[in-house]
Structure 1
Amino acid sequence: MKRNVLITGTSTGVGLEASILFAKNGFKVYATMRNLKKADALKDAIEKEQLDIEILPLDVTDLSSIKKAVDTIIANDGKIDVLFNNAGAGFAKTTEQTSEEEIRWVTDVNYHGVVFCTKEVLPHMRKQNGGQIITITSVGGLVGQPFNEFYCGAKFAVEGYMEALANYVSKPFNIKITNVEPGGISTEFMASAVQKTSSNGQFAMGEYQGIFEKYMAGSQERAKSSEIPIYQTGKEVAEVVLQVAQNENPPLRIRSSEWAERFCQLKTQADPDGTKLRDMIANSFL
């Protein structure tokens, strides 16, 4: 029987590319998205290449939607082999300018959605004594960056959640957990972040305007002058995710590019893939 994979956020970007890539590599794919009206690109790929992909509705901020999707997969296959927590959204504003609604939204999409999808899948993986949970986090889950404090805060939370969870589900229940940490991704994710945090493409930062303009100019200059590419395509990140899914002993965390590796080096050099700390904590407490 094929290994199956549940992927969130598959209408564009990494999720779309991962759905196609996993299907081409022998997985049964359950590709989920909040708005099925955005499924045309995936439907075209399925029809063109005869891919084993089933599209399901799933909104990571809606608990009933998550449960319904998981129940459907269990009814069809009786198992979930891989959960790929991909859905997320960028956000860049100062703390002072961010509304309560925006704070809750960015946290729900980037952190709570991961937690609740994982919570719904875990009992099935535990009962089948095996499974794999792969989550897109970010270099922003390891390194705090200007004007990204709410996004980074959510990603830091995901990193901590998965690290703690791995300590007690990996060995007893054979549930493998990996955080994939990209740098910049040149997909609709970036365009969505700008749209969500600006007005007509313009950022009004008040007293922070000068600092923000310096930040933006520096980001653009680094992208132009970097000796190694800063931005990856969605397909390049999806290829890293597939490699993790095919790995018998996957790392707890992995950066998806050389640039991301260098960017996080001061945080990761003592334990690059996180497995030393994971095993130390598990051995100390369990």
Structure 2
Amino acid sequence: MKQNVLITGTSTGVGFETAILFANNGYKVYATMRNLKKANALKTKIENDQLDIEILQLDVTDITSINAAVNKIINKDGKLDILINNAGAGFAKTTEQATEEEIRWVTEVNYHGVIFCTQAVLPFMRKQKSGQIITITSVGGLVGQPFNELYCGAKFGAEGFMEALATYISEPFNIKITCVEPGGISTEFMTSAVNKTITEGQLATGEYVPIFEKYMAGLQNRANQNENSVYQTGLEVAQEILNVAKTENPPLRVRTSDWAEKFCKLKTSADSDGTKIVAQIKESYL
């Protein structure tokens, strides 16, 4: 029987590429997205290539929606082998300028969504004594960056959640935990994040404006000069996710590019893949 995999946020970008790549590598894929009206591109790919992918509605900010999707998979297959927490939302804005609604939104999507999806699958993985949870975080989950503090805070939270979970879930229940940490990605996600930042009156205001303009100019300059070294394609990141899924004993943390490794080096040099800290915590507490 095929291993099955539930992937969140598959309408575009990394999630879209991951769903297709896993299906092409022999997995049964449940590709989920908040808005099924955005499923046309994936439906066309499924039909043209005869892929074993079923599209389900799942909003990571809605617990009822999450549980409905997970229960549908369990009722159909009797198991769930892999959860890929991919759904996310970019956001760059000063803390002073961000509204309460925006702060709650970026936290809900990038942090609470990871918790709620993981919470939904854990009882089944624990009962079957096997499973894998792969969470797509970011180099922003390790290194804070200007005007990204709300996004980074949510990603830091997701990293801390997965790290703590790994200290007591992995061995007794055979549930593997990994954070996949991309740097820049040339996908609709990146375009959406930038557009959301520079349109609809969301530029920094007041004394922050010159700092923000310098920040944006630096981003654009680095992209223009080093596009191939800084930005990966969605497919390249998807391949790294597949590599994690195929690894017998995957590490807690995986960066997806040389650029990401260099960017995080000061934070990761003592324990590049997170295995040392997990071992130390187990020794200290368990």
| TMscore range, shorter length | over 0.9
Tell me which amino acid in the other structure corresponds to 1:188.
E
Residues 253, 274 of structure 2: 8 Å contact kept: yes
Question: Superposition pairs for residues 39-54 of structure 1, below 5 Å?
Answer: 39-54=39-54
Residues 15, 87 of structure 1: 8 Å contact kept: yes
Post-superposition Cα deviations, 1:43-74, rounded to whole Å, max 9, x if no partner, equal 01100111000000000000000000000000
* Distance change in 2, residues 1:202/1:62 (3 Å): closer
Structure 1 residue 195 corresponds to structure 2 residue 219: no
The offset of 1:10, in angstroms, is 0.3
The offset of 1:204, in angstroms, is 4.3
The offset of 1:174, in angstroms, is 0.5
Note the aligned Cα RMSD (angstroms).
Answer: 1.3
Residues 5, 30 of structure 2: 8 Å contact kept: yes
* 2:10 alignment partner in structure 1: 10
* 1:266 alignment partner in structure 2: 266
* 1:135 alignment partner in structure 2: 135
* 2:35 alignment partner in structure 1: 35
The offset of 1:130, in angstroms, is 0.6
Tell me which amino acid in the other structure corresponds to 1:195.
N
Post-superposition Cα deviations, 1:2-29, rounded to whole Å, max 9, x if no partner, equal 0000000000000000000000000000
User: TM-score, normalising length from structure 1?
Assistant: 0.97
Residues 195, 201 of structure 1: 8 Å contact kept: no
* 2:62 alignment partner in structure 1: 62
Tell me which amino acid in the other structure corresponds to 1:144.
G
- Name the SS for the 2:180 alignment partner: strand
Structure 1 residue 81 corresponds to structure 2 residue 87: no
Unaligned runs of 5+ in 1: none
- Name the SS for the 1:229 alignment partner: helix
* 2:117 alignment partner in structure 1: 117
Post-superposition Cα deviations, 1:109-134, rounded to whole Å, max 9, x if no partner, equal 00000000000000000000010000
Residues 97, 204 of structure 2: 8 Å contact kept: no
Post-superposition Cα deviations, 1:218-265, rounded to whole Å, max 9, x if no partner, equal 222223334961001111100000000000010100000010000000
* Distance change in 2, residues 1:283/1:204 (3 Å): closer
**Separation of aligned partners in 1, 2:228 and 2:197:** 28
**Separation of aligned partners in 2, 1:224 and 1:259:** 15
Post-superposition Cα deviations, 1:176-199, rounded to whole Å, max 9, x if no partner, equal 000000001111111221333343
Residues 70, 121 of structure 1: 8 Å contact kept: yes
Unaligned runs of 5+ in 2: none
**Separation of aligned partners in 1, 2:145 and 2:204:** 19
**Separation of aligned partners in 1, 2:202 and 2:70:** 40
Residues 166, 278 of structure 1: 8 Å contact kept: yes
Task: Report how many residues are paired.
Answer: 286
The offset of 1:202, in angstroms, is 6.8
**Separation of aligned partners in 2, 1:220 and 1:198:** 13
**Separation of aligned partners in 2, 1:204 and 1:224:** 23
**Separation of aligned partners in 1, 2:264 and 2:194:** 24
Q: Give the fraction of aligned pairs with identical amino acids, expressed as a percent.
A: 73
The offset of 1:205, in angstroms, is 2.7
* Distance change in 2, residues 1:24/1:215 (3 Å): same
User: TM-score, normalising length from structure 2?
Assistant: 0.97
Which region of structure 1 is more displaced relative to structure 2, 162-171 or 186-195? Answer: 186-195
Tell me which amino acid in the other structure corresponds to 1:269.
S
**Separation of aligned partners in 2, 1:135 and 1:206:** 37
- Name the SS for the 1:216 alignment partner: helix
